[in-house]
Structure 1
Amino acid sequence: MTDLLDRVYDAHGRLERWHQLTQVRFTGSAGGILPWPRADFLAHTGATLDPRRQRVTIEPFGMPDRRGSYTPDHVEILDSEGHVLAARDEPRRAFDGHPPDQRWDELQAAYFAGYAFWGYLTIPFLLDWDGVRVEEIEPWPENGETWRRLRVEFPGHITTHSSVQTLYFGAGDHLLRRHDYSPDVLGNPLTAHYTTDYRTFDGFAFPTRRYVLRREPDNTTSGGQLITLNIHSVTLT
């Protein structure tokens, strides 16, 4: 096993401290070209995550009095009193054959946002889960730096963008710089997800600015920002 993973855990807040957490809550703003039910659907939102299993509550969700509930096998939309307004089992199947020029319904949005938010906020500590395979691969030069890289294979019981992903870390501070994947539910586009503007919340380092660029077959990037996620606050319990 590479020494990089232990250094990464320590840089982001230490694995043993992460295992003591029962809840992670963030507030933020998501935008970009994803086919949300409307363009500003998650312009003001937040999510409460269970770091020990894939369970997320997104609130507000599209409207001030709505919240979305996500698990890999079931999603719901609820009102402010907890009444279920819509629900779907096996939610990933709703993306099969979905026209790329058609907006998602709210249950599709709850599924995508739920698993994406959960993955973003639990990485790198997610790499310690059973069945995750990690190996260090050749470094990558970018922005005048040389980033160390981990190739990650996720098992089927972890819902994520794609089964194989690549994580890039600063050679000096070991913080996540870039995260490559190809989302299955979007037709597997080559994606480079950048993480910047780190802040420390209760001893854990989180990037507060995230943005996605198109990744070319040679691993370079091109074009402008396609998707953004800005984090305003993180609360850990």
Structure 2
Amino acid sequence: MIDLLANAVQAHGGLDRWRAHSTLAATVLMDGELLLLKGAHEHPGPRNIRMDLDRPSIMIEPFLDAARRTEFTAGGVAIKSDTGRLIAQRRDARASFEHHDLRTCWDPLHQAYFESYALWADLTAPFSLAAQEIECQEIDPRRERGELWRGLRATFPPASIRYSAEEDFYFGSDLLLRRHDYRLEIAGGVPMVRYVSDAVTVDGLVIPTRGAVYLRHPDGTAMADALMLSVRLSDLQLAGQVP
């Protein structure tokens, strides 16, 4: 693990503390222009999520209405009733986004897949970047919001459940995550920038509770009038200590 990542992981609570838990539960509110462009229809109120920390696996409820939930694992996604009855399923969900661009409409399984992997990827950073198969290197810093943010580029192996094959992460002087750049591959590779804020400490782990995603100009600046996604988290709880 390169020094920048090791120090950032430690600033967020450390791998030992992260690995001492197996699940994270939270309440989430999610909205933004991306969901409107995609024809997505969100449940109007807060939703509950429960996710594994060591692998991409997450449950979101309710989904679209109070009687449905989503379950995501190993690249597949399912919509189930609140009693567990299978309503719809897509095993190779990523392949269903082939030839999509920013304005291609989603069906409910597209929406469920995106929301699931996005929340899992966002909430496990930077800890998930420490996996042995992920290549990381320090890149040029960015001066933004009166601070100098150190940059880290992560290159993911094929078939990784990520926004894109290569993503950049920027950390403040306290080594907490400030910014995350990627290309949204499931929407034609459009460049995005995600800013995070309002971190809370839960069982010694530092986790941002606010995310704001914008379209990104070629020079790296955010299109301030194009808020594509807003994510607000509350009631975070870690559980399932590993013996």
TM-score, structure 1 normalization: 0.93
Number of the residue aligned with 1:180: 181
Number of the residue aligned with 2:121: 119
Helix, strand or coil: the match of 1:110? helix
- Which 10-residue stretch deviates more, 145-154 or 102-111? 102-111
- Which 10-residue stretch deviates more, 67-76 or 136-145? 67-76
Give the Cα separation in 2 of the matches to 1:15 and 1:99: 37
Of all paired residues, the percent bearing the same amino acid is 35
Residue 227 of structure 1, CA deviation: 1.0
Number of the residue aligned with 2:133: 131
Residue 18 of structure 1, CA deviation: 0.8
Residue 37 of structure 1, CA deviation: 5.0
Number of the residue aligned with 1:13: 13
Number of the residue aligned with 2:228: 226
Give the Cα separation in 1 of the matches to 2:119 and 2:215: 20
Residue 108 of structure 1, CA deviation: 0.8
Structure 2 alignment gaps of length 5 or more: none
Residues matched between the structures, number: 236
Please tell me whether residue 53 in structure 1 is matched to residue 55 in structure 2.
yes
Aligned-pair Cα RMSD in Å = 1.7
Structure 1 alignment gaps of length 5 or more: none
Helix, strand or coil: the match of 2:190? coil
Give the Cα separation in 2 of the matches to 1:184 and 1:42: 27
User: Residues 199 and 207 of structure 2 are in contact (CA less than 8 Å); yes or no, is this contact kept in structure 1?
Assistant: yes
- Which 10-residue stretch deviates more, 220-229 or 37-46? 37-46
Instruction: Quickly say closer, same or farther: Cα 1:39–1:33, change in 2 above 3 A.
Output: farther
Give the Cα separation in 2 of the matches to 1:72 and 1:183: 19
Helix, strand or coil: the match of 1:115? helix
TM-score, structure 2 normalization: 0.91
Number of the residue aligned with 1:80: 82
Helix, strand or coil: the match of 1:114? helix
User: Residues 41 and 64 of structure 2 are in contact (CA less than 8 Å); yes or no, is this contact kept in structure 1?
Assistant: no
Give the Cα separation in 1 of the matches to 2:80 and 2:2: 44
Number of the residue aligned with 2:210: 209
Residue 64 of structure 1, CA deviation: 1.6
C-alpha distance after superposition, 1:118-141 (max 9, x if no partner): 100111000111310111112110
Helix, strand or coil: the match of 1:131? coil
Helix, strand or coil: the match of 1:34? helix
User: Residues 13 and 205 of structure 1 are in contact (CA less than 8 Å); yes or no, is this contact kept in structure 2?
Assistant: yes
- Which 10-residue stretch deviates more, 37-46 or 192-201? 37-46
- Counterparts of 1:61-100 in structure 2, within 5 Å, are 61-98=63-100, 100=102
Give 2:5's aligned amino acid. Answer: L
Please tell me whether residue 189 in structure 1 is matched to residue 219 in structure 2.
no
Give the Cα separation in 1 of the matches to 2:44 and 2:164: 23
Instruction: Quickly say closer, same or farther: Cα 1:144–1:68, change in 2 above 3 A.
Output: same
Give the Cα separation in 2 of the matches to 1:123 and 1:38: 26
Give 1:90's aligned amino acid. Answer: D
Instruction: Quickly say closer, same or farther: Cα 1:43–1:185, change in 2 above 3 A.
Output: farther
Residue 99 of structure 1, CA deviation: 6.5
Structure with larger RCO (C-alpha < 8 A, sep 6+)? 2
Number of the residue aligned with 1:154: 156
- Counterparts of 1:16-31 in structure 2, within 5 Å, are 16-31=16-31
Give the Cα separation in 1 of the matches to 2:55 and 2:202: 21
Helix, strand or coil: the match of 2:72? strand
